[in-house]
Every structure is written in structure tokens, then in C-alpha cells.
Structure 1
Amino acid sequence: MKVLIVYASSEGQTRKIARKIMDRIADSGQAVELLPVSEAKGTDFSRFDRMIVAAPIHAGHYSRALSDFLSHEVENLSNVPMLFLSVSLAAAGHDAEDWRGLDQILDDFTAATGWQPSRVEQIAGAYKPSEYDVFRRYIMRRILAAKDPDADLDADKEYTDWAALEALVDEWLARAD
């Protein structure tokens, strides 16, 4: 099996997730390619048996680069079984309103791009104040303080459940579509 992973990343957590998945797939003896979304346009997707797209949500939206890529390539992607990993801090929590918001963001995104992945999974991201600009740090501190009052607002923290992510990818790759 040959798998393509396309990712968008702003602070690096989604890139880290994509690389971890790439290593997992390669270690299982399968062929895998990893491309940032900025380099994926025009790829011959028919060379791949499966595809994973990983992208973060920031300020209620996926990146413009991802939206442009998927809108442009939507017809070329229709024959490839696809797993979409939507990465956000909201996915780390259990608040029903946050999860409804994630569903709405996804619905708006797929309606705007015309893209319909075979499967979507919400993946918890990371809080990285060491990498935020002043404005983003202020906003993220407020969000995290409201969601996790015991959190150290000055420390980076990964919320990604690596074992669950690996199990998810293993299960998805083992399925016969």
C-alpha cells in the first residue's frame, strides 16, 4: 500500500502529528510520502492507495492554503480513500458546545471546498505559548484559563493522545474500502 500524507501546520503540532504518522506507516513496511499542503498541488493522486490530510483549526477556520488546495484538487481526490485529521485544542476537551462548534467548522469547510473525506477524526493539539506572538498568546491564555483553570499558562503542553492516534491510523489502514 502507498499512502500520501498532506498537512498544514501553523505552530508545528500538526506537522509533528503528520511526521509521527509517516514514521508509523513506514515502520509497518508500507510506502508513504509526506507533503506540506504548499507543495501538494498538482500531485498525481492516482499513485496512492490512501491519503491522510491533517490540518489545524485556528480562530474557527482551517488555513486558506488548505482550502485553496482542496478546492482546486477536489475532483482529483474523489477516488482516493481519505482520512481527515482535524487538529485543535477544542478536541482536547469534553465540552459539548466545543464539539458542536468543531462539527460546524467542518460542515462550513466541506461546503465551501466541495471536499468530502471518507472519514474525519478530531485530534487534540497543543498549547504552545513559547511559539505564539503577543496577540495570540493573550487570546490562547484566556481560552485555556477558561477551559483548564489548573493549567500552567506559561508552559507548553501537548494534548495529543499519541497511542490513540496510532491505533486510529492502524485501524483505518487495515480496513478494506
Structure 2
Amino acid sequence: MSRIAMLFASREGQTRKIIEKIQPLLTKAGHQVDLIQIKPEPREINLKQYDAFFLGCSIRYGKHHRWFCDFVEANADILNKRLCFFFSVNMTARKPNRCEPYMNPYLVKYLENSCLTPDKVAVFGGALKYSQYNFLETQLIRMIMKLNKGPTSTESDIEFTDWVKVINFAEDFKLALGKVEPETEVA
């Protein structure tokens, strides 16, 4: 079976929640899976030991996390040589006309400006986690939601992730793994 690196960046935890939902599906299929959170502090990760990559990153104020983007650009050569799926998590994806990868402006912009050429991409709605925001963030996000005809009540957190879509994306990855010949290099 394959050795997989699930690389992600998450601020309030929705991207982590998605990754953690997918991981057991892959381990039950017999794959070895390492969850690796990409953080602002640089960290050496030996990507050559992996047969495939599953990447996820959230958007905040219209941009993917800079440290995640920097990591991907620095490692694009190896990521592009192996099976690689990428998903983006953002609030725009809660809308029917923005929940498909090539209809989501944030994902499209990222792919146009990145060296990453993933085998498959997806976009998932995120979560409004007002309970985790400070006062200024709450007001800013409420304003953005109001402008975009989204929910503005701060009384409870709201999740927009389509879990069926997440599972289907994971199943596609699992199917693609069946076609991968392990070719890891030990370093």
C-alpha cells in the first residue's frame, strides 16, 4: 500500500476537521498516512518518502495561508511528480455557484499563480466560528457576510462543509491510489 502525506494549514480548525475525516478512510484501506500541519515556523519534511500527497488549505480574507503557499512552492517539484490532490476551504464555497473548483475565484486564482499542478482539486465550504474570533475579527467577518448575503448572527458557529462531497473526494483519491506504484526514495 501507499505512504501518504496529508499536508494542511488551518486557522480555526475546519481544514483539520476535513483532513481528520478523510484519514481513517485511507488507513482502513491499508495506507500509511501522516498528518502534517504546515505552520508559519519553517520545518523540514522529507517528502521523498511519500508515494502520494493530499493537501488542504483554508482561505482567510481572500488568501490561502502564506506559509502553506511558500511550502508548496518550495516543494512543487516533488508534489507534482507524485499523485497529488488539493482542496481549498472557504466561505464563498457555501454558495451554489461557487462550490465547484473552477467556479471558485480563490481556488482559480491560487492555481493560476502556483507551480502546483494537482491531479484533482476540490473546494469545500468552511465554517463561521464566531466563538473563536476576537471582537475586531467578528465585526469584520460580519461585515463581509452582510455584503455577501451570508449569516451575520454571532450567537452560534455555523458549518457549511458538504461532508458527502468531502467523502466523495476522498474516495476519488483512494481510487487513484490503486493506480499508483510505490516509488518512494529512502532518504
Q: Which moved more, 1:20-29 or 1:70-79?
A: 20-29
Question: What is the Cα deviation at residue 49 of structure 1?
Answer: 2.2
- The CA deviation string for residues 82-140 of structure 1, in whole angstroms up to 9 with x for no partner, is 111100111111245x987733x334333444222111100111110000122221122
Match of 1:92 in 2: 94
Question: What is the Cα deviation at residue 37 of structure 1?
Answer: 1.2
CA distance, structure 2, for counterparts of residue 109 and residue 122 of structure 1: 12
Secondary structure in structure 1 of the residue aligned to 2:81 = coil
Q: Does 1 or 2 have the higher relative contact order (CA < 8 Å, sep 6+)?
A: 2
Secondary structure in structure 2 of the residue aligned to 1:78 = helix
Match of 1:172 in 2: 173
- Name the CA shift for 1:162/1:100 in 2 (closer, same or farther; >3 Å): closer
- Identical aligned pairs, as a percentage? 25
- Name the CA shift for 1:166/1:148 in 2 (closer, same or farther; >3 Å): same
CA distance, structure 2, for counterparts of residue 43 and residue 99 of structure 1: 28
5+ residue gaps in structure 2?
181-187
Q: How does 1:64-75 map to 2 (within 5 A)?
A: 64-75=66-77
- Name the CA shift for 1:18/1:82 in 2 (closer, same or farther; >3 Å): same
Paired residue total? 175
Secondary structure in structure 2 of the residue aligned to 1:155 = coil
CA distance, structure 2, for counterparts of residue 101 and residue 170 of structure 1: 22
TM-score, normalised with respect to structure 2? 0.81
5+ residue gaps in structure 1?
none
Q: How does 1:6-155 map to 2 (within 5 A)?
A: 6-38=7-39, 41-95=43-97, 102-103=104-105, 105-145=106-146, 146-148=148-150, 152-155=153-156
RMSD (CA atoms): 2.6
Moved over 4 A (4+): 98-101
CA distance, structure 1, for counterparts of residue 174 and residue 48 of structure 2: 17
1:6, 1:40 within 8 Å by CA — same for their partners in 2? no
Q: Which moved more, 1:163-172 or 1:64-73?
A: 163-172
Q: Amino acid of the residue matched to residue 28 of structure 1?
A: A
